[in-house]
Amino acid sequence: MAGRKSDFTLTKLDDLFTTQAQRDEEQLSKIRDIPLELIDDFPDHPFKVREDEDMFQLVESIKERGVITPATVRQKEDGRYELISGHRRKRACELAGFETLRCEVVDLDRDEATILMVESNFQRSQILPSEKANAYKMRLDAMKRQGQRTDLTSSPLGTKLRTADELAQECGDSRNQIHRYIRLTNLVPELLEFVDEGRIKMRPAVELSYLNEDCQRDLVDEIDLNDCTPSHDQAIRMRKFFEEGKLTTEAISAIMSEEKPNQREKIVLRGDRVRSLIPKNIPINQTEAVSYTHLTLPTI
């Protein structure tokens, strides 16, 4: 008898009093066609909806086959719907001339919806640094709020570390890299756009994120004026000057006017070509000591 008792497993009430067919029907009842005019975008949605070639292909697909994978929404108190995942599908439906969007309605609070929104959009093939930065910040904030509600005995520091480590495990970036991305949210839009374009790399961008808005905008003016972005070393010095209270508009201009190593003009010649220009009486092991200023280059 004891052995039989240990094999007993508690079952959810839904499983005891409903059939599988009924549960499947209940799931399907949450999927419906909702008028586009009743669907609001997720507040501060960090991912951009681009009208590029992929979008136009999606539009054609929806025209032919409809929305295969339903978008995900939650109903708001005013009766409207908030889009959690499916912003590209919604826009494609608008471009295709549709009036409704196939959606699954889920019962989630704001923090749960934020986490799901970030998870679903991280499946995109291309994500800009600015999108990743804002998405990480939104999700980490939601996770920390959840931690404060479910584990009130934890210290704020402990909660922060736990949620950051958890997010790192789920997303693949290290905790330090996630912190770097989140620092980018402190950049003014112009500098953040330069990061998206690849004109400013991650490391200097993180250093610049510690400057206040006025200094960042002075830097934007310098970049526009000279069409040159700061190196990592220049960004470090600007941050140091700022923390010392010495980063004036003139200081930013002076730092940005410096010639960087990758801006110096270089002449690159093949090894055999260089050897042909060096007097034959100079041994090979001494050719490195020959000044290139003494070589006579042919006129091109």
> No. of H helices and E strands in the chain?
15, 5
pLDDT in tens, 102-119: 999 999 998 999 989 998
Chain segment 36-54, per-residue pLDDT in tens: 999 999 999 999 998 989 8
Kindly report the pTM of this predicted structure.
0.66
The answer, yes or no, to whether residue 295 has pLDDT greater than 60, is no
Q: How confident is the model at residue 145 (pLDDT cuts 50, 70, 90)?
A: confident
Give CA–CA dist 181/29, Å, rounded: 40
Query: Of 164, 159, 166, nearest to 181 (Cα)?
Result: 164
Please determine, for residue 298, whether its predicted confidence score (pLDDT) is greater than 60. no
pLDDT exceeds cutoff 80 at 10? no
3-state SS class at 17: helix
**Section 244-262 average pLDDT:** 88
Task: Please answer whether residues 42 and 84 qualify as being in contact, where contact means their C-beta atoms are separated by less than 8 angstroms.
Answer: yes
> Taking residues 70-77, what's their average pLDDT?
94
Which of the 8 DSSP states describes residue 262? G
Q: Is the pLDDT of residue 156 over 70?
A: no
Summarize the chain as % helix, strand, coil (round to 5).
60, 10, 35
Q: Give CA separation, 158 vs 114, 123, 147, 154, 179, in Å.
A: 22, 29, 10, 6, 16
DSSP 8-state symbol, 18: S
pLDDT band, very low/low/confident/very high, at 283 (cuts 50, 70, 90): low
Residue 170: band (very low, low, confident or very high) from pLDDT cuts 50, 70, 90 = low
Please state, for a pLDDT cut of 90, what percent of the chain lies above it: 54
Residue with tokens 């951009």: 48
Rounded distance between C-alpha atoms, residue 243 and residue 256, angstroms? 18
More confident residue, 119 or 249: 249
User: By C-alpha distance, which of 122, 40, 23 is closest to 78?
Assistant: 40
Of 114-118, 264-268, 279-283, least confident by mean pLDDT is: 264-268
- Of how many residues is the chain composed? 300
User: Can you tell me the distance from the alpha carbon of 29 to that of 69, in angstroms, rounded to the nearest whole number?
Assistant: 15
Is residue 138 within 8 A of residue 118, CB to CB? The reply is yes
